[in-house]
Structure 1
Amino acid sequence: MKFENQFQFVKSQHLDQVTALQATMHDFSYGKHAHEEYSFGVTQAGRQDFFSNGEFHKSHPGNIIIFNPGQFHDGHSGDDNALQYRMIYIHPSQLEPMLGSAGVKQCQDYQIKDTLLDDPQLRHFILNIAAHIENNANDKLQLENLLYQMSERIAQRQGDLLPERQSNKNDTLLLKAQNYIHENIGADITLDEISNQVSLSKYHFIRMFRQQFGITPHQYILNCRINRARQALEAGCVLEDVVFDFGFSDLSHLNRRFKPVFGMTPRQYQKHFLIS
């Protein structure tokens, strides 16, 4: 069966110099080349054969491929099946500050050691970042959170991750950030806005926040919005107003977030609560 070679590039609408590629290849071969960005790919079907760093590699479904900036490589389908993979390209100006916040001391011109690996956590982050970009998801905070978590996993694999900060009291700066979130829960809050309130770099802020509260700022904001929505539903507010008053893009977005927490849709919850 003849497959058409397809390549779909999508640039992030939120972060400069971050791009996703969704590719299907059958009889196409990449010539030897290198990118200016860090490249993170996941083979999804077929076999991905390539030569890089003096070695020949074979990537099977689920494997991760990583190329550092300037790392030359080629690539082609390794068998008679169509090769399908996703790739994200992140410029050093975006990735290296995240690596620094995760604990990498020498993050400039950082070299990731593994070219081919199997890591479920890292694969999860790469595919979620690609999906976020491809779907043009209107949530910059979530994308930045995913990128930071991916950077943290890279630092952990390389032995560069900072140890967890031990604290028995709420940090004053983080309490200030919490208050800002509560006061602006219905707005489209960005990570830049929150971190500016406490005079921290945004990726250092993510790390401190998660160490203090056990969840990321994005997860915390989402939880606050869901709880505020629940209270409004209990008070009999119009469902459509609840959607937009608490920062959800549409009813489907609220449904996807609400049901895993309360076991029913917002409409079902409101009906159940008002009847009882």
Structure 2
Amino acid sequence: MGQDSQFSFSKSRYLPDLTVLEAAMDSFSYDRHAHDEHSFGVTLRGRQDFFSGGEFHRSPPGHVIQFNPGEVHDGCSGGEEPLNYVMVYIHPEHLEPLIANAVGALRARDFRVGETLIHDSVLRHHIQELARLITDQVGSRIEQEFSLYQIAARISQRATQFEQNTVSRRADILLRRARDYIHSHADNDLALEDISKAANLSKYHFLRLFRRQFGITPHQYVMSCRINAARADLDDGTPLDDVTFRYGFADLSHFNRRFKRIYGMTPKQYQQSIRR
């Protein structure tokens, strides 16, 4: 990470699993990874170049970036001007009930936003307002809840089709089984054969399908899941040494390198940032 790159995480005092990232980047580049949460970001300055959904995107100032849970992506500063952006991470358990309420459904399990790069001044305002309430630690619980609902309502308005866990292609179903298996065994010593069996596919056929679908290898996805699980433990105040060895990192140095390439800071810096 260059000396000119800065990252700051803030947790909501009222809403569990709601996190805000403020980032200033120049030379830093994220490894390809995925988050367990819905991610909504706003490019404030410069240009954000990133891969997601099998293609490359460029986000100029004022645009909204959206990643669904489990969606593989990376990111770096594009152009000559340094990049500044804010990102809000919302766990599906907190967003999906609001989506269901906004569209008048009983539930919205596995709701997916169909757009990655969005130009919408209303949505941008709601994201920035929620981020402000959390990072500045101002306002009340109901203000944060209402701000979150406004994001859900706007996303629902933009949705061209509301889906409730509709995955029809066999390959998608099998790969989802594999992904679920990885998530539930993140602290195990996973082998490619174990994961491919969970998907009922031969090892090398599975490897080809997975890489084509997600843009990374199963090993890279396993590492991303382990980093996300480790971050959740850090959120809960678990000691750093315990987290390091729970998820199979050789030592703290190994954990530091992997964590920093996804979150822009070391695990210790992250834990200190959210405890401020």
Could you tell me whether the CA contact under 8 Å between 1:3 and 1:26 is conserved in 2?
A: no
C-alpha separation in 2, matches of 1:108 and 1:62: 30
SS in 2 for 1:154: helix
1:96-127 deviation per Cα after TM superposition (whole angstroms, max 9, x unaligned): 01001101645111100000010011000000
Q: Does 1:144 align with 2:134?
A: no
SS in 2 for 1:149: helix
Q: In the alignment, residue 89 of structure 2 is paired with which amino acid?
A: Y
1:70 is matched with 70
Q: In the alignment, residue 133 of structure 2 is paired with which amino acid?
A: H
2:37 is matched with 37
C-alpha separation in 2, matches of 1:45 and 1:65: 14
2:154 is matched with 153
Q: In the alignment, residue 137 of structure 1 is paired with which amino acid?
A: V
Q: In the alignment, residue 23 of structure 1 is paired with which amino acid?
A: A
2:88 is matched with 88
Alignment of structure 1 residues 113-128 onto 2, 5 Å: 113-128=114-129
Structure 2: runs of 5+ lacking an equivalent: 163-276
Alignment: residue pair count: 160
Residues 36/62 of structure 1: CA separation in 2 closer, same or farther (3 Å cut): same
Q: In the alignment, residue 121 of structure 2 is paired with which amino acid?
A: P
C-alpha separation in 2, matches of 1:138 and 1:144: 11
Deviation at 1:138? 3.9
C-alpha separation in 1, matches of 2:42 and 2:137: 20
1:46 is matched with 46
RMSD: 1.5
Alignment of structure 1 residues 208-247 onto 2, 5 Å: none
Could you tell me whether the CA contact under 8 Å between 1:29 and 1:75 is conserved in 2?
A: yes
SS in 1 for 2:131: helix
Alignment of structure 1 residues 167-246 onto 2, 5 Å: none
C-alpha separation in 2, matches of 1:59 and 1:29: 15
Percent identity of equivalent pairs:
47
TM-score if structure 1 supplies the norm length?
0.56
C-alpha separation in 2, matches of 1:83 and 1:159: 31
1:23 is matched with 23
Q: In the alignment, residue 127 of structure 1 is paired with which amino acid?
A: Q
1:55-113 deviation per Cα after TM superposition (whole angstroms, max 9, x unaligned): 11000000000000000000000112110000000000100010011016451111000
Q: In the alignment, residue 134 of structure 1 is paired with which amino acid?
A: T
Deviation at 1:137? 1.3
Q: Does 1:129 align with 2:130?
A: yes
Q: In the alignment, residue 119 of structure 1 is paired with which amino acid?
A: D
SS in 2 for 1:70: coil
SS in 1 for 2:14: coil
SS in 2 for 1:87: strand
Q: Which runs of 4+ in 1 moved over 6 A?
A: none
TM-score if structure 2 supplies the norm length?
0.56
1:103 is matched with 103
Larger radius of gyration: 1
SS in 1 for 2:42: strand
C-alpha separation in 1, matches of 2:48 and 2:139: 32
SS in 2 for 1:8: strand
SS in 2 for 1:101: helix
Q: In the alignment, residue 81 of structure 1 is paired with which amino acid?
A: E
